[in-house]
Structure 1
Amino acid sequence: MSFSSFGQRFKAFSENPDTYVAELTEFYLSDANMKKDKQKEYEALILQYADVFNAMPVQQKKDVMKLSNLMLKKRVRPLPGFYDFIETQIAFKTTNQSNESFNQWFKGLNWTIESSTLGGFNNAVNSSLNLVKYNTLYSTKIVDWKVKHNGYNIRIDTIRGPYVDFTSDIDLTYSSQKDLNTIFSTKGKFYIVEQIFEGFGGKVDWSRAGLPKDQVYAELSNYNVSLKRAAIIADSVLFTNKEYFQHKLSGTLEDLCSDKVGDVTYPRFYSYKREEIIKNVFPDVDYVGGFTQQGGKFLGYGTAVEPAELVIKKEGKLFCKAKAILHPFSQEGIASPDCQITFYINQDSVYHPGLLFRYNKSQKEIACINNKEGISASPWVDSYHAIDIYTEAVYAKLDGHTLEFTSIKAPSNTVSFASFESNNYYTEAKWDKIKGIDEVSPIYRVKGFVDKYKKKNIPVKEFARYIGFDETQAEVMLMRLAIDGFINYESYRKTAIVKEKIFDYIKANTKKQDYDNLRFVSSTKNSANAVLNIFDMDLRLYGIETFSLSDTHFVNIAPNKGEIVMKKNRSFEFNGKISAGRFNMGGEKCYFDYERFALNLPKIDSMAFYVPLFEDTNKIIKIQTPLQNLVCELLIDDPKNKSSIKRVPGYPMLSSLEESFVYYDQPKIQNGVYLREKFFYKLDPFKIKDLMTFKTDSIRFTGIFKSSGIFPDIKEPLKVMKDYSLGFIIETPSTGMIAYGGKGQFYNR
């Protein structure tokens, strides 16, 4: 039966107290839509209500009957409206509420029936019932707001209607099906029709996130919440986290009850101040930025314009800065994704635009990890050594004195790879790889943008419009250039910062600028690829394969044990083998001077070289006689022509700076009878140019031959003999040559 049809059968209450209860029964029986089980509940309720109604003062009875007729005109149905109305009256009686509260409640319902909608009235009656009977402000299948109180007053706001005034401290608990939290010791007003609670004061803690309630909490000022969600947002709260600081932070509180398993990211606090300075958040670690507490996670946070910053000191001096949008703190330390990191060492720096940053509080160790995301594969930029470093991880301890470039720490038998490139490194192969199948190289696209807009900061959106690609494609292009070391890409603000290297690379490609091909590849097992000593700035590289200083001139280095020591601006020391043109040598304490593009070779044990065959200059053969104990200098090319773009005559050029020797104590020569201490050829300093193209007959070493007293000292230059040894031929005079100190005479060639 429709409401209109039963409305015709039951039009009004007579307002006779003696018949009112019976009329209620007639009213609910007129609702043909009510199920039998509900009819039985209604019948039991009215039986209980009869005693309550009959005990009311006369005026209250009149008020009830008058309101009942107003409800009927408003088309309030037996269920839920009248049922809740009756049950609330019973609850007022059974919970010993005062007549004043009852009368105020009644006034509120009168205001609501006249000023609100049918739905608003039903909500008001239901909320009243929940409050009086269950100490609940709002309740559905998925949201509950309960209150623990010591009393309240019901009042009327002429505009907003009835409200419950909690003037003494209450605990207000909000919950979803599987989650809850409480505002402790708060006060406020519950506006029944609006389903809004306006509170002031109180405290919210983080105990549901596993944090001690006396250590982490927020103190509220004024706040408003809609009770239809198990959530609060409050401004101007004061936040305390005694784990990290003692003073209170001002900011915003957000909380949401969630039924997701393991989702403990609430409550959340966000500080207002974005430049909060916390000294010694950990020992020797300062923090600058905003703060947010999200569940059990305490996070430093910033913006794309002003990222949050960790300032790490070593012996009181700035050692490292780590910038990121988020810095998650924990009792163990910090783990910040997509973090821009700079190590400050003396007047120089080692910089990376974005990777995973970790700080272990107990070990006082910094770990910077390439986590294979975003631009983490970009190189570290080392200003002192003028190189780009590609490595999986960098580690540094505050109580140590090194930066360690290596793989991510793992169980033993780990093979670690790294590479080290000069910041003037260029190869055609790398240029082609960057260009790929694109019609226009990404390098030229970036240059075109810079030329057009006269700026080196490139927002992704603007770059996408310029090249006619979507933003995702444009961002990928910029990130790849960052990984190749041409730009710094700040992913948190989606902006590329163009480095001078991109213009140098274009000039190198068009042969308008010099470059080098200095690149070191390292492979180690269970050890670091490189270690930087922050005291003397020596960068020790390990596991280095044979590498080239000049492809054009065939100048290559094979360091002993794969070790070299990098000095300032790409100069380095090493022990090992050197090949230059047709010369091979092994030396100790060798030094490559990048500026001069030269090798200082103070201790060459042995030098061998090849010459063209006499009968076929297209073929070469090794000279049988090695030169030994040399002090040399090798000029690889003109210092302004490291790429050997131009042909500069004379290079590479080898100079012997001091006397050197040829010895004849090899077993193949008279069974080694000629001891080197007395039988040798001492060479004068010499210079050989064009080490790759010299002619065989141009080889001529001046010096003196000492034969252990067999002959007088002979000053005859060494030349390449027919058997491709170094020697000389002299004609003895007709009188012969004195031999063995005058004991004999030698006649021959």
Structure 2
Amino acid sequence: VLHYKRFFSNPVVGIFRDKVLSSPPGDRSLFPVFTAYRGDIELPDIYTNMDYFGGIQIEGPNLYGVAVNGHTAMVTIMRNDTVFGKMTSEKFRILNDNTISAQAAVVFYFENDSIYHPGLRVKYTNEDQQLVLYNEKEGSNSIPFFDSYHQLDIYVQALFWKLNEENILFKRIRMVNEKNLAYFVSSNYYSDRDFYQLQGIDDLHPLYVIQNFINTYQVSEIQLGVLAGYMKLSPEQVSAMLIGLSNKGFLVYNTETQIAIVKDRLNYFLNAKAGVTDYDVLSLVSDVTTKPNASFNIHNLGLSVYGVPQVSISDSQEVYIYPYDKSIQFFKNRNFNFDGHVHMGLLDFYTRNSTFVYDSFMLRMNYIDSLAFMVKSQDSRSRNDSLIHVNNVITDLNGSIYIDDPNNKSGMKNFPLFPTFVSNDESYVFFNRKSIQDSTLHADHFYYRVDPFVFDSIRTFSTDGLAFEGTLVSSGIFPDISQPLVVMSDYSLGFEHHTPETGYPVYDAKGTFTRDISLSNEGFIGQGSLKFLTSSSTSDRYIFYPDSLVAIGQSFVVEKSPLEYDFPFVQGDTVDIRWMVDTNVMFVDNLDKPFIMYSNSLLIGNLELNPGYMHGDGAFYFDQSELVSNTLQFNYNRLSADSADFYLKNRENDTLVFYANQYHAKINFDEQTGWFNHLYDNSFVKFPFNKYISTLDEVEWRMEEDMLLLKSNLSKDYKGLDTLNNMEVIDYKLVG
């Protein structure tokens, strides 16, 4: 009878054995030994949140939980007053501060599922409440954790869990600057490589042997001896085979009873090989150095896997995921969340907050930062490998990729419409690169809004004839333009659009543009004609900016307007046009020939048009005269200049007869008169032919009479520089 007040309130009946020793007993003494008869002894709270159920054995000073009469020893892990996990073994060593087992089956429960492993070493330290479960073997040849909630087989060396924390860690035991590999494989995974790897060098595949045995004997349990006789092999050889199949999850094998029970996975694997059932290829590798391979949160049941460079969803459909931070988070039934790059055929998606939905076999991408794609080279379309990236991306999408028919995850059958991408909402293309009009086409106001669209048959997808329906919003340059977006000759997304015959209002109806509009990475460009006020111009390259327009015009004409704008007639060839939209001022410079103005006058220089005026800067030629000023103002039938130099030549011999320096000038073409008013102290008039200089207040020019009337309120005239008589100097009528 055993009295052990720490655990038992009543005596325990059992067998006592002792041995005479030559030395005093110590911590490692094996005697005396007490073994309880009963195998259903309960020891509550052997550690924090841990209970024990099973047999009891004391060896020397040490307490063990042991299997008795076919009942295994079991440690139960409690959480929130419910059973969260169980560890069963032939023997547990139960010390004051820790427990150890050489081999234990372990299971953790959550919802209606579990994480199970048939054989792990157990080490628990009560001080920090840390449970360590580990495999002696490592890698894909070890026995996996079978996770029915996430439907994964987890090939990892060890599980670490501090019972007072919410995260269970999967990792290698020693991780100091070493590669730490783990494998996460779908429960429905199949590959021919794995199938034949199971066979090894055997003549017959062990799965076929087991299936044939069950069908022959019509049994659900396999006895080792009977199977050994059937296979004509030794029990030891067959037992090793059964242990190997048990480790892979094809059956459950009890080495004590030598009985194996076949699991559904065996028939599933054989049916997948025969092509009569569907399967998947979902298998990923975790490769880390300092982090754990995975972390299981027992609160939200998310399994975060780290060090994952790539996830292959479908080999046949070429769908691959490259997580940004090399991590994904599994939830129930292989659904997982990720942020990353999804490659599918010619398409590349860059996504955040995306989910792989296993049952529907789809990717739900809630936010796609951008969609990039490739097209065939336009100069070598016959070459399959001649692919070029399109220079724009489609941004701000959300949508879904339907990878294949949900019942064809293996890709054994051909469904031509898959994979399919469905864009659910509007998305955008922007043209705000530095190389495109110096980043002036700001994304806030200038963008192409793409309508929801569908790409199907992506595996055989051709970008020839590809077009996106949608609308261009052009920052007020034009009204919204609905024109499909296509791949342009510079491999950018854009379009060519022809306006109606009446043209489009441009810059909030400040003008009208007619003919062709093109958009690409070369810019937002027009070819046609532009009307502004009473002016019209033509150009093969108008460049539209949100706040301005520039062009080299082949022609430029201003129709005379006596009433609305008070403009004269202007005609120009090969001109530089700059229209500043905010101030509504158009600058026009002649590049080759002078402007023709009024009827037969010329301007070499530039014009400035605004609804309130037409200004000029340059040399204005009319009749036998030249007017040079940077303050020219042109009106319907007259012009003026605040400060000008005026030159008048003889009609017969083209010699200069009159020159006014820095005078206010006014010319009236209807009245055929001109006035020149003295402005500054240094203003003067000069008669080169007569060698006469004066600071007259005013000069009136009567064009039809070829007469200059000189007027002055000054008391002093300056005569010629040389000594001349009056008859030689004065040849004009002077008044004043």
TM-score (norm 1): 0.65
Query: Which structure 2 residues correspond to residues 430-469 of structure 1 after superposition, within 5 A?
Result: 430-469=194-233
Counterpart-to-counterpart distance in 2, 1:545 and 1:449: 42
Kindly indicate whether the alpha-carbon contact (under 8 Å) linking 2:139 and 2:183 is maintained by their aligned counterparts in 1: no
Query: Which structure 2 residues correspond to residues 679-718 of structure 1 after superposition, within 5 A?
Result: 679-718=446-485
Per-residue deviation, 1:354:
0.9
Per-residue deviation, 1:375:
12
Kindly indicate whether the alpha-carbon contact (under 8 Å) linking 1:324 and 1:340 is maintained by their aligned counterparts in 2: yes
Residue 168 of structure 2 is matched in structure 1 by: 403
Alignment partner of 1:644 is 2:416: no
- Counterpart of 1:670, as a letter, is Q
Per-residue deviation, 1:720:
2.4
Alignment partner of 1:282 is 2:47: yes
Residue 297 of structure 1 is matched in structure 2 by: 62
Alignment partner of 1:748 is 2:513: no
Distance 1:656 1:717, change over 3 A: same
More strand by proportion, 1 or 2? 2
Residue 315 of structure 2 is matched in structure 1 by: 551
Alignment partner of 1:383 is 2:134: no
Counterpart-to-counterpart distance in 2, 1:533 and 1:334: 24
Distance 1:459 1:505, change over 3 A: same
Of 587, 595, 599 in structure 1, the residue corresponding to residue 351 of structure 2 is 587
Counterpart-to-counterpart distance in 2, 1:573 and 1:648: 26
Distance 1:603 1:304, change over 3 A: farther
- Counterpart of 1:486, as a letter, is F
Alignment partner of 1:254 is 2:17: yes
Kindly indicate whether the alpha-carbon contact (under 8 Å) linking 1:375 and 1:489 is maintained by their aligned counterparts in 2: no
Counterpart-to-counterpart distance in 2, 1:396 and 1:412: 19
Of 577, 592, 596 in structure 1, the residue corresponding to residue 341 of structure 2 is 577
Kindly indicate whether the alpha-carbon contact (under 8 Å) linking 2:139 and 2:156 is maintained by their aligned counterparts in 1: no
Alignment partner of 1:560 is 2:324: yes
Counterpart-to-counterpart distance in 2, 1:439 and 1:729: 68
Counterpart-to-counterpart distance in 2, 1:489 and 1:378: 13
Cα shift readout 1:123-147 (whole Å, capped 9, x = no counterpart): xxxxxxxxxxxxxxxxxxxxxxxxx
Kindly indicate whether the alpha-carbon contact (under 8 Å) linking 2:53 and 2:74 is maintained by their aligned counterparts in 1: yes
Query: Which structure 2 residues correspond to residues 114-263 of structure 1 after superposition, within 5 A?
Result: 238-257=1-20
Residue 515 of structure 1 is matched in structure 2 by: 279
Local SS of the residue matching 2:243 = helix
Alignment partner of 1:368 is 2:127: no
Distance 1:739 1:675, change over 3 A: same
Per-residue deviation, 1:745:
2.2
Per-residue deviation, 1:695:
2.0
- Counterpart of 2:212, as a letter, is G
Kindly indicate whether the alpha-carbon contact (under 8 Å) linking 2:496 and 2:516 is maintained by their aligned counterparts in 1: no
Counterpart-to-counterpart distance in 2, 1:245 and 1:381: 36
Counterpart-to-counterpart distance in 2, 1:279 and 1:679: 71
Distance 1:598 1:326, change over 3 A: same
Counterpart-to-counterpart distance in 1, 2:266 and 2:316: 24
Structure 2 runs not aligned, ≥5 long: 518-736
Residue 268 of structure 2 is matched in structure 1 by: 504
Counterpart-to-counterpart distance in 2, 1:675 and 1:376: 57
Per-residue deviation, 1:247:
2.8
Alignment partner of 1:489 is 2:257: no
Query: Which structure 2 residues correspond to residues 518-529 of structure 1 after superposition, within 5 A?
Result: 518-529=282-293
Counterpart-to-counterpart distance in 2, 1:440 and 1:728: 64
Per-residue deviation, 1:280:
2.4
Counterpart-to-counterpart distance in 1, 2:179 and 2:4: 43
Per-residue deviation, 1:733:
4.2
Counterpart-to-counterpart distance in 2, 1:374 and 1:684: 49
Counterpart-to-counterpart distance in 2, 1:478 and 1:295: 37
Counterpart-to-counterpart distance in 1, 2:153 and 2:235: 28
Per-residue deviation, 1:402:
2.4
Distance 1:373 1:548, change over 3 A: closer
Counterpart-to-counterpart distance in 1, 2:175 and 2:211: 45
Kindly indicate whether the alpha-carbon contact (under 8 Å) linking 1:611 and 1:623 is maintained by their aligned counterparts in 2: yes
Counterpart-to-counterpart distance in 2, 1:320 and 1:301: 18
- Counterpart of 2:409, as a letter, is K
Kindly indicate whether the alpha-carbon contact (under 8 Å) linking 2:501 and 2:514 is maintained by their aligned counterparts in 1: no
Per-residue deviation, 1:283:
3.6
Residue 267 of structure 1 is matched in structure 2 by: 32
Per-residue deviation, 1:381:
1.2
Counterpart-to-counterpart distance in 2, 1:246 and 1:362: 25
Query: Which structure 2 residues correspond to residues 54-73 of structure 1 after superposition, within 5 A?
Result: none
Per-residue deviation, 1:666:
1.3
Residue 21 of structure 1 is matched in structure 2 by: none
Local SS of the residue matching 1:502 = helix
Counterpart-to-counterpart distance in 2, 1:582 and 1:394: 41
Kindly indicate whether the alpha-carbon contact (under 8 Å) linking 1:389 and 1:418 is maintained by their aligned counterparts in 2: yes
Residue 596 of structure 1 is matched in structure 2 by: 360
Kindly indicate whether the alpha-carbon contact (under 8 Å) linking 2:175 and 2:289 is maintained by their aligned counterparts in 1: no
Kindly indicate whether the alpha-carbon contact (under 8 Å) linking 1:266 and 1:294 is maintained by their aligned counterparts in 2: yes
Query: Which structure 2 residues correspond to residues 468-479 of structure 1 after superposition, within 5 A?
Result: 468-479=232-243
TM-score (norm 2): 0.66
Distance 1:303 1:589, change over 3 A: same
Local SS of the residue matching 1:513 = coil
Cα shift readout 1:313-364 (whole Å, capped 9, x = no counterpart): 1222101111111112122221112211111123321111111122222222
Counterpart-to-counterpart distance in 2, 1:553 and 1:352: 34
Distance 1:487 1:667, change over 3 A: farther
Query: Which structure 2 residues correspond to residues 21-32 of structure 1 after superposition, within 5 A?
Result: none
Counterpart-to-counterpart distance in 1, 2:56 and 2:239: 29
Of 592, 616, 620 in structure 1, the residue corresponding to residue 382 of structure 2 is 616
Q: How many residues align?
A: 511
Kindly indicate whether the alpha-carbon contact (under 8 Å) linking 2:140 and 2:155 is maintained by their aligned counterparts in 1: no
Residue 120 of structure 2 is matched in structure 1 by: 355
Cα shift readout 1:416-460 (whole Å, capped 9, x = no counterpart): 322111100111111121122222111112222332333444343
Query: Highest Rg: 1 or 2?
Result: 2
Counterpart-to-counterpart distance in 2, 1:375 and 1:575: 27
Kindly indicate whether the alpha-carbon contact (under 8 Å) linking 1:585 and 1:606 is maintained by their aligned counterparts in 2: yes
Counterpart-to-counterpart distance in 1, 2:358 and 2:9: 53
Kindly indicate whether the alpha-carbon contact (under 8 Å) linking 2:145 and 2:153 is maintained by their aligned counterparts in 1: yes
Residue 535 of structure 1 is matched in structure 2 by: 299
Distance 1:376 1:705, change over 3 A: closer
Distance 1:488 1:625, change over 3 A: same
Local SS of the residue matching 1:368 = strand
Query: Which structure 2 residues correspond to residues 418-437 of structure 1 after superposition, within 5 A?
Result: 418-437=182-201
Counterpart-to-counterpart distance in 2, 1:694 and 1:350: 42
Of 323, 328, 335 in structure 1, the residue corresponding to residue 100 of structure 2 is 335
Counterpart-to-counterpart distance in 2, 1:283 and 1:353: 24
Alignment partner of 1:306 is 2:71: yes
Local SS of the residue matching 2:482 = coil
Per-residue deviation, 1:291:
1.4
Residue 653 of structure 1 is matched in structure 2 by: 420
User: Which one has more relative contact order, counting CA pairs under 8 Å at least 6 apart?
Assistant: 1
Kindly indicate whether the alpha-carbon contact (under 8 Å) linking 1:354 and 1:375 is maintained by their aligned counterparts in 2: no
Counterpart-to-counterpart distance in 2, 1:304 and 1:588: 57
Local SS of the residue matching 2:271 = helix
Residue 625 of structure 1 is matched in structure 2 by: 392
Local SS of the residue matching 2:508 = helix
Structure 1 runs not aligned, ≥5 long: 1-237
Kindly indicate whether the alpha-carbon contact (under 8 Å) linking 2:372 and 2:394 is maintained by their aligned counterparts in 1: yes
Per-residue deviation, 1:411:
6.6
Distance 1:730 1:601, change over 3 A: same
> Kindly, what percent of the aligned residue pairs are identical?
32
Residue 440 of structure 2 is matched in structure 1 by: 673
Counterpart-to-counterpart distance in 2, 1:495 and 1:547: 38
Query: Which structure 2 residues correspond to residues 726-745 of structure 1 after superposition, within 5 A?
Result: 726-742=493-509, 743-745=511-513
